[in-house]
């Protein structure tokens, strides 16, 4: 079954993988090892003086209750973004798959938001929901909702989740739609003839067949929520108010780039790296088993 | 063949042309966007037109933290600019970067340029000098927090259009405005800068030990004093009653006041230009309110804004150009132009006098309010300024805790205690990194 290519030459396979390896080493392993090295050091902003401090940067972090709080914030944010993002796009994909008239228009409109960069999406939402001039704020006021996420942490969280989900929905939608279209129609028709209703058809046939796609999207969305949403947060809340939206990666950026604390920031990125590695392992080990390819 | 000939000709021409205009270039990295950037480029152009030896080349590097980050990266790569505009909270970081910066007093001495630190406003000099009084960076754009009121709103509520002087009066006024249907009564920009940093100076209470950190790296924050707690608790109570609308950590409050949404605001003196341009308010500039039960209040406020730092490792002749340019920038007429164009305060006393003589303040009442407030009294150890390491993070911490208090999530005392605790940890870390 397995496809195998046998190279006669001893060096050709190495040459062929070399570019990819070089890219991986230069852009992944090298920076990662630098981060690990910096995480054991205390440095001034200009790199004039640095000293080896062992695990002190990590110790400082875990002693800080606000850093620990940031884990919870990240968990809430990631679960919400990945969960809502996947559920909503699945719903939209199923709907779009059924539509007969103007299907192209719906699909195009749904894919559109993906062309918007995260930072631009952030600014867009920040404007629409701006506490004093936002158009949505104005409408909410008509319904008696007091909307001021600049001071209300829960509203701020809701807003960044909305923006992050909106920005990612198209991507999920595309994959689900492709997945749906590759399901043989005969299977669904057979089930329908046997008397299965639309709900039953979805949960017993369509969803299991979509599970590889859903699993792939779960991994991608979690990584997105962890790293890709940083631009949205920076554009809308900058982690505020009172740290309600400071997710781990935003804190890495704030401490490292804005505040020039390389040691602390590197220690945080090492921790973040460990979390993402652990999460990916868990996903592949336990969730993948239940996925039917 | 032809191309090569041309190239050779160009090279010969270049070789002859070079000595004739051997202009020394001086790189200046800054963070002044929009109209401010135009005013800044105007200064450089004027200097370049006046003399032919040196050429100041400006480049906009984004926001303050962005240009500082860019300069740090450039320094690490050995490509730092000559002049870097650094915001006031970055002062301690720059000052501790021995070997990366060239103190201004030293630059002026080495290049033999005339330089008198006493010519500058004392509150401005204090912020950028070491404990011995040596000026380390050149003040450039300085502002302070002022109290703006919209007289239209006062009149609409049947109140005399007079600004409250104390916080007690402000609350009384706020209640009347609220009762008259004014939705946003009072707001503020830059919560830490206005309500902790300027508040402390204005009430002559310390922000930290060691003369607000100027006396050494082992300073500790003292912003959980009863005076601070009382003030923050008052703001939280106002927020609860709808008398104070929180706007955000930077200048979001400017728009809230300028658009006519809020009746009163404590925002930067630099917001005046935008207020005039928006033209939606009957604005009036006033000094910051104070608590009349605090002894010695009002003292003087402190500055915000940025100063110019000289980076090390450049050639002596280039430093000569930098020094010449700094002398140019300090000239009264140049300062007056910058002051009247941008709304930043004039940094020398001579420039202030010159502007006064020109009749600018008579035609534009209130434009001297920032200078008057900064020089209200001779600065004390508490009101000279502040210098805390890692203060970019430090300010974020203070703002986070203030937000927790304003949102009613924490009592003022608890929030400020936490700010002090978290802030002190940063200071210890900075101390260890800069031993």
Instruction: Mark yes or no for CB contact B425/A64 under 8 Å.
Output: yes
Of A60, A151, A258, the CB nearest to B406: A151
Residues of B with CB under 8 A from a CB of A: 65, 68-69, 72, 75-76, 93, 96-100, 184, 239, 245-249, 252, 255-256, 259, 261, 390, 392-393, 396, 399-401, 403-404, 406-407, 409, 422, 425, 429, 432-435
pLDDT of A1 reads 47
* Mean pLDDT, residues A18-40 taken together: 92
pLDDT, tens digit only, all 435 positions of chain B: 445 555 555 544 444 444 445 789 999 999 988 778 888 999 999 999 999 999 999 999 988 888 888 888 898 888 899 999 999 888 888 888 888 999 999 999 999 999 988 888 888 888 898 888 899 999 999 999 999 999 999 999 999 999 999 999 999 999 999 999 999 999 999 999 999 999 999 999 999 999 999 888 999 999 999 999 999 999 999 999 999 999 988 888 998 999 999 999 999 988 887 888 889 999 999 999 999 999 988 999 999 989 999 999 888 999 999 999 999 999 999 999 999 888 889 889 899 999 999 999 999 888 899 999 999 999 999 998 899 988 888 998 999 999 999 999 999 999 999 999 999 998 998 898 887
Of B72, B259, B400, the CB nearest to A45: B72
* Mean pLDDT, residues A1-5 taken together: 62
Instruction: Mark yes or no for CB contact A260/B255 under 8 Å.
Output: no
Pick A153 or A290 by higher pLDDT.
A153
Interface test with B, best of A242, A254, A264 (most B CBs within 10 A): A242
Select from B126, B89, B200 the least CA-distant residue to B375. Answer: B126
Distance, in Å, from the CA atom of A150 to the CA atom of A159, rounded to the nearest integer, reads 11
Chain B contact present for A151, CB below 8 A: yes
Beta sheet of B145-150, edge-to-edge order = B244-246, B184-188, B262-268, B145-150, B283-286
Of B99, B393, B432, the CB nearest to A42: B432
Residue A56 backbone phi and psi in degrees, to 5: -60, -40
DSSP code per residue over B346-414: PSBHHHHHHHHHTTHHHHSTTTTHHHHHHTSS---TTTS----TTHHHHHHHHHHHHHHHHTTSS-HHH
Pick B84 or A60 by higher pLDDT.
B84
CB-CB neighbours of B218 under 10 Å: 11
Instruction: Mark yes or no for CB contact A153/B184 under 8 Å.
Output: no
pLDDT of B21 reads 56
Select from B4, B82, B91 the least CA-distant residue to B44. Answer: B82
DSSP code per residue over chain A: -------SSSSHHHHHHHHHHHHHIIIIIHHHHHHHHHTTEEE-TTSS-EEE-TTHHHHHHHH-HHHHHHHHHHHHHHHHHHHHHHHHHHHHHHHHHH--TTHHHHHHHHHGGGGS-HHHHHHHHHHHT-TTT-HHHHHHHHTT----TTT-HHHHHHHHHHHHHHHHHHHHHHHHHHHHHTS-HHHHHHHHHTT--HHHHIIIIIHHHHHHHHHHHHHHHHHIIIIITHHHHHHHTTT-STTTT--HHHHHHIIIIIS--HHHHHHHHHHHHHHHHHHHHHIIIIIGGG---
Instruction: Mark yes or no for CB contact A46/B75 under 8 Å.
Output: yes
Chain B contact present for A47, CB below 8 A: yes
What pLDDT digit, counting tens, does each position of A265-292 carry? Answer: 999 999 998 988 888 888 888 777 766 6
> Shortest Cα distance from B201 to chain A (angstroms)?
25
Does position A27 have pLDDT exceeding 70, yes or no?
yes
Name the closest residue on chain A to residue B391, using Cα atoms.
A259
Interface test with B, best of A151, A265, A267 (most B CBs within 10 A): A151
State the complex-level ipTM: 0.80
Phi-psi region of B158 (alpha: psi -120 to 50; beta: other; left: phi over 0): left
Name the closest residue on chain A to residue B255, using Cα atoms.
A132
Length of chain A: 293
> Shortest Cα distance from A72 to chain B (angstroms)?
17
Of B392, B407, B434, the CB nearest to A44: B434
pLDDT of A292 reads 62
Which chain A residues are within 8 Å of B399, Cβ to Cβ?
A: 240
Mean pLDDT score of chain A, rounded to an integer?
87
- What count of CB pairs under 8 Å joins A to B? 99
pLDDT of A293 reads 59
Choice among A55-59, A88-92, B2-6 with the minimum mean pLDDT: B2-6
């Amino acid at each position: 079954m397995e496809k195998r290519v046998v190279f006669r030459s001893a060096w050709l396979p190495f040459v062929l993988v070399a570019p990819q390896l070089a890219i991986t080493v230069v852009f992944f392993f090298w920076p990662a090892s630098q981060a690990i090295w910096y995480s054991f050091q205390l440095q001034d902003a200009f790199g004039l003086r640095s000293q080896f401090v062992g695990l002190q940067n990590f110790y400082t972090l875990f002693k800080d209750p606000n850093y620990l709080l940031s884990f919870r914030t990240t968990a809430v944010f990631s679960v919400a973004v990945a969960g809502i993002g996947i559920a909503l796009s699945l719903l939209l994909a199923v709907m779009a798959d059924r539509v007969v008239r103007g299907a192209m228009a719906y699909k195009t409109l749904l894919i559109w938001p993906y062309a918007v960069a995260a930072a631009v999406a952030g600014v867009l939402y920040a404007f629409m929901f701006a506490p004093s001039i936002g158009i949505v704020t104005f409408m909410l006021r008509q319904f008696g909702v007091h909307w001021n996420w600049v001071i209300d942490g829960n509203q701020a969280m809701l807003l960044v989740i909305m923006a992050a989900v909106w920005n990612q929905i198209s991507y999920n939608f595309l994959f689900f739609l492709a997945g749906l279209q590759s399901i043989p129609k005969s299977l669904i028709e057979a089930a329908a003839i046997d008397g299965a209703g639309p709900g039953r058809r979805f949960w017993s046939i369509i969803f299991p067949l979509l599970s590889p796609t859903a699993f792939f999207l779960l991994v991608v969305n979690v990584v997105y929520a962890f790293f890709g949403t940083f631009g949205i947060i920076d554009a809308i809340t900058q982690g505020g108010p009172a740290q309600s939206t400071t997710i781990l990666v935003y804190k890495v950026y704030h401490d490292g780039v804005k505040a020039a604390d390389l040691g602390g920031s590197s220690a945080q990125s090492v921790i973040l790296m460990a979390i993402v590695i652990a999460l990916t392992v868990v996903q592949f080990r336990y969730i993948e088993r239940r996925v039917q390819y | 063949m032809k191309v090569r000939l041309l190239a050779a000709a160009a090279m010969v021409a270049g070789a002859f042309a070079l000595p004739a205009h051997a202009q020394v270039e001086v790189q200046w990295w800054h963070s002044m966007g929009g109209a401010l950037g135009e005013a800044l480029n105007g200064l450089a152009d004027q200097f370049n037109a006046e003399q032919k030896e040196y050429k100041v080349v400006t480049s906009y590097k984004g926001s303050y933290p962005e240009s500082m980050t860019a300069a740090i990266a450039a320094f690490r790569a050995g490509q730092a600019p000559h002049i870097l505009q650094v915001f006031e909270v970055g002062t301690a970081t720059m000052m501790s970067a021995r070997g990366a910066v060239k103190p201004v007093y030293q630059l002026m001495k080495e290049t033999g340029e005339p330089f008198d630190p006493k010519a500058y406003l004392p509150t401005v000099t204090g912020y950028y000098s070491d404990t011995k009084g040596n000026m380390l960076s050149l003040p450039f754009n300085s502002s302070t927090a002022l109290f703006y009121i919209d007289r239209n709103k006062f009149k609409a509520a049947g109140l005399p259009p007079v600004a409250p002087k104390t916080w007690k009066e402000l609350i009384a006024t706020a209640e009347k405005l609220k009762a008259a249907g004014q939705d946003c009564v009072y707001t503020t920009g830059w919560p830490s800068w206005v309500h902790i940093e300027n508040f402390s100076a204005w009430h002559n209470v310390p922000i930290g030990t060691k003369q607000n950190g100027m006396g050494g790296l082992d300073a500790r924050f003292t912003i959980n004093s009863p005076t601070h707690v009382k003030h923050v608790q008052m703001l939280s109570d106002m927020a609860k009653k709808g008398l104070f609308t929180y706007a955000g950590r930077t200048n979001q409050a400017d728009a809230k006041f300028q658009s006519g949404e809020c009746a009163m605001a404590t925002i930067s003196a630099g917001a005046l230009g935008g207020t005039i341009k928006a033209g939606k308010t009957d604005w009036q500039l006033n000094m910051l309110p104070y608590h009349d039960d605090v002894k010695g209040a009002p003292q003087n406020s402190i500055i915000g804004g940025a100063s110019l730092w000289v980076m090390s490792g450049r050639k002596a002749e280039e430093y000569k150009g930098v020094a010449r340019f700094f002398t140019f920038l300090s000239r009264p007429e140049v300062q007056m132009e910058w002051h009247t164009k941008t709304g930043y305060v004039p940094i020398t006393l001579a420039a202030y006098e010159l502007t006064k003589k020109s009749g600018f303040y008579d035609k534009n009442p209130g434009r001297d309010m920032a200078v008057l407030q900064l020089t209200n009294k001779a600065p004390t150890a508490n009101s000279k300024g502040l210098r805390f390491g890692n203060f970019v993070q430090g300010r974020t911490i203070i703002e986070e805790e203030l937000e927790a208090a304003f949102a009613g999530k924490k009592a003022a005392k608890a929030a400020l205690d936490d700010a002090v605790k978290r802030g002190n940890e940063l200071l210890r870390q900075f101390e260890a990194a800069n031993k």
